[in-house]
Structure 1
Amino acid sequence: MVALGAAIAALACIGAGISIGLATGKAVEAVARQPEASQKITTTLVMGCALAEATAIYGLVIGILIIFFLK
């Protein structure tokens, strides 16, 4: 059961990877349509990716805590 709980917590990493990939693709499309707005788009993309990556790190930490402290 501990391994199952850790695996479910690790799903946050998968979700973050997918969301960062989708956000990057949309940002590239936006820059292709409006090159003059690339600075603003890049800033927004970096902030969004940082938030998604923080979610992945929280999921990883929770998974590690479940594995080592709930045995």
Structure 2
Amino acid sequence: MKLSFATLVLGTILLTSFFIQPTIAGSVGIVFLEAFCDSKCNFRCSKAGRKDRCLKYCGICCADCNCVPSGTFGNKDECPCYRDKKNSKGGPKCP
């Protein structure tokens, strides 16, 4: 009885460790990406007329592409994914 209980506890701990580690690593990556995107998009949208809209779409594009072009306008060739995203009307999605 003690052996089967010990085996059950050990097996549970072992299985749990496989699921907890990737979750922790994933959440650290998400936090880093959010901080990266926030800082890049804040600079990118600093001169925008509609800053809230610019930050929204820049954040979406940055999360998808993992990059934001330098500067406050243009330079989209630095990030082809960012450059090539289109809105529903066929225009550029990313500011």
Larger relative contact order, structure 1 or 2 (CA cutoff 8 Å, min sep 6): 1
Structure-2-length-normalised TM-score: 0.35
Rg larger for: 2
More helix by share: 1
Structure-1-length-normalised TM-score: 0.46
